[in-house]
Chains A and B, each alone.
Chain A
């Protein structure tokens, strides 16, 4: 009897163990370092996590996120701490400064790395050209449209109106790397466009929330100084684009409207036209690359590219006020992002 009971218990234990082994999910440890908690960064990271969990349902994804607080030094410090801990399966950087620190780190050369929301991977030295792969085991996508395409779009809008002279547009930006890189590209191409006269209006990059407010005030002040010379301004990507109340303040102080913006929120606030990659799209696209890496594709072999999905947004109220009709093809592209 005792023997029968012992055998039964043994069998039950064995069955439970084997069932547990079969049902147990593989665990992936993913580390995310985001540059600063601005909407495009935070929303991209959230979309990434959600999409990765959705497309890899048979795995437990343990995501650990770190905030570099808009500082490259802070990002490097985080990486130094992480180097002391068990190596993760994937390291993800969001935005330029965190990516710059991760790419520069020699502690994680063997760990596959993925970046997102970086506007200029070439200028950051990650790859020599778009389409090339990095030997530092890092890959990712630029979320920003080519400067030429953006200029073409604005030229198209201005051409549709009966402008008899080019509009002078203040190109406001901070010295934040991605922002200054893009501005340089735009200025280099400006000579090819008859309807556009870009004028750089810059502010030094200041870290943290206080820095963002200070940068905003600085820009508003500079625009006030050049109010008579400007017909509008171009709100380039970077921390300033995410600053709260910038558009309203400029409008209040100068009456100038942003003619081109690189965030949907700016268009909502009054920018004539904007072309951006939405954070959700950025996060989802990065999640699909992460899945490939976790399933044993090598980041070294995956070329750095550009996003293939962009969103056009227009503000018809601004268009009416400025008497700059939005061409029908842009209006058609904007679809759900036509704001008043």
Chain B
């Protein structure tokens, strides 16, 4: 592209040079015509008559010489009419004017005139000003009659033609510039822009597909080389992406395995601690068992945080939208977290706007996780203060489902955050002060996870804070909302599940290969008044169900001989009611997509390890109610 201005400047200079050349040429031509008129016309007119007088022997006859000079004057008058040039003859000695075709006297300044010899005559020519008029002149002397003969021509026509030449030069140059620009543009389009667009298009495809591309460019210049480099680069990118995906899959698999492998013993620890606390213990033993349970709980939280962050960063965290009552969900959270707040002498206040009888569609799990995180933090850093939770929808809801914006603010009157640390509090493994970790605990992942979850929901988390006065975290998220009509089956189920109690003497088959987990699960189920029968693999479980007399099966997924998935499939293939025996999966796998696989194999519900009595009860109740609803139908 740098060549275009250079070319245009070059053309302008060429145009100016052409103008100067034409200017000189026209001036030279005018002078040539003028001097030729003088020497070949005027001087010849004079000389011819003198020669005639000599030939006729009349040179010294005054009447003839005067008459012939008069003839010269008459011819010059005619010539003036024909050529529009003026002629003047003056006496060479006295400088007196003998004849002139101009009315005004001719006062010619010939200083600085150019000299030339034309037809053996010395001619002076140049430009001068006569009677306030710019003129071109040429003059010569005719010695026999002692004459100085001058030819004058107004400079105006010359200046006019030079002006015309200037305009023509400008127009031609402009035309040439426009034409060349168009041609250059076309050439540039073909040779530069089009290849660049092809390369750009290929780069876009690489960015989207991460595949090797082929660019249709055959030229061997720099752009052709660039295209080949991009092709080679795309091949390497494809290779690197494949490797990265493979590594990611490996990481995911590792996380899944680690999740399972860590949760399984943790399940045992938590379960046994809970069981231990149910037994008669001394005060000291009870304290140890209680600490053991708390430690296991913290460890489970840490593991969950790490797994959540890994899922989000690997892009595996998906938004699972369901319709729910946000107001109810938040009230339950307030109730849940109220205990912690009370222990911190902190008051928990919840207010809402536009949320009464409104069903919100969003990912309830992620939303709950965000709120719990923010409220837990607020409680943690507030002593003898208030944590105020406000929730609102920006638009009033209608009966029709419509897009809306959810805003939840968690404001505390806690210790606040230093301004220079505010911008870092959402960084991973960062707390406002390292001393906080020591004083308040935590992994430093909570806010990072919360913010990333909010961003997954199309929103964000902002914070304002003042040291000593408290902080306010504001969560936003894109949701859909509508005014609720209380008639759906799900709401009935939820309501009933909340209020229902389990029937006593439920015959439960527990399929679990890990002996400790089996002990814990069996103990928890027995707390729910269930009659528990234990097998250690899937094959035994399927066989036992086939024998009959089992109300519900708790099926571990990973077991020797036959895993839980295969065993469930077998049960589902049994004839009659046996094939409809409810199966609840027990798994340490936290990833949701795996839960979908398990349900696809025939499981009715999934309980994630470490199992709690509440989780088991909720699952059993949900199952029982579901069956009731089905029976009623």
Contact = CB atoms under 8 A, between A and B. Distances in A.
Contacts of A326: 64
Nearest to A340: B57
Interface stretch (A96-104, A217-225, A260-268, A327-335): A327-335
A325 B61 CA distance: 9
9 contacts: A320-B61, A323-B63, A325-B61, A327-B71, A328-B48, A331-B52, A331-B56, A332-B52, A338-B56
Interface string B40-67: 0000000011001000111001011011
B68 interface: yes
A325 B58 CA distance: 10
Interface in B58-103: 58, 61, 63-64, 66-68, 70-71
Contact of A328 (B57, B61, B68): B68
Interface string B489-504: 0000000000000000
A328 B49 contact: yes
Interface in A289-340: 316, 319-320, 323, 325-328, 331-332, 338, 340
A328 B61 CA distance: 14
Interface residues of A, number: 14
Contact of A160 (B52, B56, B57, B70): B70
A105 interface: no
Contacts of A332: 52
Nearest to B68: A328
User: Which among B52, B63, B71 has the greatest number of chain A C-beta atoms within 10 A?
Assistant: B63
Contacts of B49: 328
A319 B67 CA distance: 12
A58 interface: no
B67 to A, nearest CB: 4
A320 B63 contact: yes
A161 interface: yes
Nearest to A324: B63
A325 B67 contact: yes
B379 to A, nearest CB: 133
A320 B58 CA distance: 9
Interface in B85-126: none
A316 B56 CA distance: 8
Given A160-B70, A160-B71, A331-B52, A325 B57 contact: no
A161 B48 CA distance: 20
By CB atoms of chain B within 10 A, which of A323, A325, A332, A338 has the most? A325
Give the interface size bracket for B toward A: 10 to 19
- Most B Cβ at <10 Å: residue of A161, A331, A338, A340: A331
A43 to B, nearest CB: 27
A340 B58 CA distance: 11
A265 to B, nearest CB: 20
A340 B52 CA distance: 15
B491 to A, nearest CB: 133
Nearest to B50: A328
B67 A316 contact: no
Interface in B327-373: none
A316 B58 contact: yes
Contacts of A338: 56
Nearest to A323: B63
Given A320-B61, A320-B63, A325 B68 contact: yes
Given A160-B70, A323-B63, 9 more contacts: A316-B56, A316-B58, A320-B58, A320-B63, A325-B64, A328-B48, A328-B71, A331-B56, A332-B52
Contacts of A325: 61, 63-64, 66-68
A327 B48 CA distance: 13
Interface string A152-168: 00000000110000000
A328 B45 CA distance: 11
B257 to A, nearest CB: 130
Contacts of B67: 160-161, 325, 327
A67 B54 CA distance: 46
Nearest to A161: B67
A331 B71 CA distance: 13
A326 B63 CA distance: 10
A156 to B, nearest CB: 11
Contacts of A331: 52, 56
Contacts of A323: 63
Contacts of A328: 48-49, 52, 68, 71
A263 B66 CA distance: 29
Which 9 A-B residue pairs are closest in the complex by CB-CB distance?
Answer: A325-B67, A325-B64, A325-B63, A160-B67, A328-B49, A323-B63, A328-B52, A338-B56, A328-B68
A181 B357 CA distance: 143
Contacts of B64: 316, 319-320, 325-326
Contacts of B48: 328
A134 B52 CA distance: 45
Central interface residue in B48, B64, B70, B71, by most chain A CB within 10 Å:
B64
A191 B58 CA distance: 33
Nearest to A338: B56
User: Residue among A161, A326, A328, A332 with the most chain B CB within 10 A?
Assistant: A328
A150 to B, nearest CB: 21
Nearest to A326: B64
A316 B68 contact: no
B476 to A, nearest CB: 113
A325 B57 CA distance: 13
Interface in B357-404: none
Contacts of B61: 316, 320, 325
Contacts of A160: 67, 70-71
Contacts of A320: 58, 61, 63-64
Contacts of B66: 325
Interface in B118-138: none
Contacts of A340: 57
A340 B61 CA distance: 13
B79 to A, nearest CB: 16
A340 B64 CA distance: 14
Interface string A86-126: 00000000000000000000000000000000000000000
B43 to A, nearest CB: 15
Nearest to A332: B52
A332 B68 CA distance: 12
Interface in B535-589: none
Nearest to B58: A316
Contacts of A316: 56-58, 61, 64
A29 to B, nearest CB: 48
A102 B57 CA distance: 48
B630 to A, nearest CB: 139
Nearest to A329: B71
A340 B49 CA distance: 19
Nearest to B74: A160
A328 B71 CA distance: 8
A328 B68 CA distance: 7
Contacts of B68: 325, 328
Contacts of A319: 63-64
A160 B72 CA distance: 12
Interface string B273-302: 000000000000000000000000000000
Contacts of B71: 160, 327-328
